[in-house]
Amino acid sequence: MRHRAIATMLDRSGRIQLCAEMHAILARRQLSPNVTRLDVLAPRIAQIRQPGQFVIVRLQENAERIPLTIADADANAGSIALVIQSVGKSTRELVALKPGESISDLVGPLGHPTEMIESGAALCVGGGVGTAVVHPIAQALARRGVRVASIIGGRSREWVVFEEELRRLGPVEVCTDDGSYGRKGFVTDAARQTLDAGGIDIVYAVGPVPMMRAMANLTRSFGVRTIVSLNPVMIDGTGMCGGCRVSVGNETRFACVDGPEFDGHQVNFDELMDRLSMYREFEQQSIACADGDCRLGQRASSS
């Protein structure tokens, strides 16, 4: 078995116990062509996690750390759900895990829980894998008695995720870029209609940065408070490295400890886009190396 994890825990009498496979994969489900759900054993996190929080995962020793939102949790089963879009080396390796295999390190829950309203109506908008991030927020709002409506989008039918889960909480409108399912067009088109009809107290929007920026611009004109979940590059997740620096309301904030959710009307999205593309060359090299086409040495020797 790959990636056996050994962790220490105190038993009831305070003795240290060694626990194997603390973060075993309990279930794996393909949600869309490049989005996979892994249910992972993480009992403590499953009990205390709150919507909006995330974990930092390291598949094995020396692997890079990557942040992933806790999309769902089952406290009785001691599991959390990670919904992973396979975009590069680390996410590709993670989604290749099979039930019974394990993740070496998983730290969390990290980040501030989502700002909630206690009554009224919320519009939850998810784009692509962002829908999985919006899901725990919608769940917690519905539990409080807030009326929840969702608008979710994907490239085409097979890219739409978490529709069924959100339908359990309230009405859902699906948008696809190619019109193969639901309404043809962007989530912002559908959101404009909903906002026009009135009665929305708050909007939660999670998805690609251009989508969150477009949603924030739209809701600004309606004067509706909008929470977005930012996805800068994170390394330690503790506020120490500065990697996740973002500008919100002209102030520097660290998304790992001050966020990851912020007032969308205050976020400097242009800067976020720039910072997200800063390491693109290294990310492409790391994929090429994983595919057996490593040219890192060639660049160094030709300079």
Q: Give the integer Cα–Cα distance in Å for 199 and 211.
A: 22
Of 130 and 260, CB closest to ligand FES: 260
Pairing of strands 121-127, 147-154: parallel
Query: Which residues, including other chains, have CB under 8 Å from residue 174's CB and lie 6 or more apart?
Result: 152, 153, 154, 160, 163, 181, 182, 183
Least CB distance to ligand FES at residue 258 (A): 9
Task: Dump strand ranges (E) for 208-279.
Answer: 225-229, 245-248, 251-254, 261-263
Q: Angle at Cα 86 formed by Cα 56 and Cα 35, nearest 5°? A: 100
Q: How many residues interact with ligand FES (rule CB under 6 A)? A: 12
> What separation in angstroms does the CA of 73 have from each of 40, 120, 208, 250, 297?
9, 25, 24, 35, 43
The answer to the question of residue 85 lying near Mg ion (CB under 5 A) is no
3-state secondary structure of 198: coil
**Which among 80, 110, 84 is positioned nearest to 31, based on CA atoms?**
84
Binding segment for ligand FES among 23-31, 136-144, 242-250, 274-282 (CB under 6 A)?
242-250
Nearest residue to ligand FAD on Cβ basis: 88
Q: Which helix (H) or strand (E) holds 276?
A: helix 269-276
**Which among 280, 35, 259 is positioned nearest to 152, based on CA atoms?**
35
Of 128 and 170, CB closest to ligand FAD: 128
Each residue 89-108 as x (binds Mg ion by CB under 5 A) or -, in order, gives -x------------------
254 binding partner (options ligand FAD, ligand FES, Mg ion, none; Cβ < 5 to 8 Å by kind): ligand FES
Of 194 and 231, CB closest to ligand FES: 231
Of 103 and 133, CB closest to ligand FAD: 133
Each residue 235-274 as x (binds ligand FAD by CB under 6 A) or -, in order, gives -------------------------x--------------
Q: Give the integer Cα–Cα distance in Å for 192 and 220.
A: 11
Query: Which residues, including other chains, have CB under 8 Å from residue 141's CB and lie 6 or more apart?
Result: 116, 117, 122, 124, 148, 169
Least CB distance to ligand FES at residue 262 (A): 14
Are the beta carbons of 50 and 140 closer than 8 angstroms? yes
Of 48 and 289, CB closest to Mg ion: 289
The answer to the question of residue 113 lying near ligand FAD (CB under 6 A) is no
Q: Give the integer Cα–Cα distance in Å for 89 and 22.
A: 23
Are the beta carbons of 87 and 33 closer than 8 angstroms? no
179 binding partner (options ligand FAD, Mg ion, ligand FES, none; Cβ < 5 to 8 Å by kind): none
Least CB distance to ligand FES at residue 239 (A): 5
Binding segment for Mg ion among 32-40, 49-57, 84-92, 150-158 (CB under 5 A)?
84-92
Are the beta carbons of 113 and 144 closer than 8 angstroms? no
The answer to the question of residue 89 lying near ligand FAD (CB under 6 A) is yes
Each residue 211-240 as x (binds ligand FES by CB under 6 A) or -, in order, gives -----------------------xxxx-xx
Binding site for ligand FAD (CB under 6 A): 54, 66-69, 83-85, 87-91, 129, 132-133, 231-234, 260, 276, 280, 283, 287
Binding site for Mg ion (CB under 5 A): 88, 90
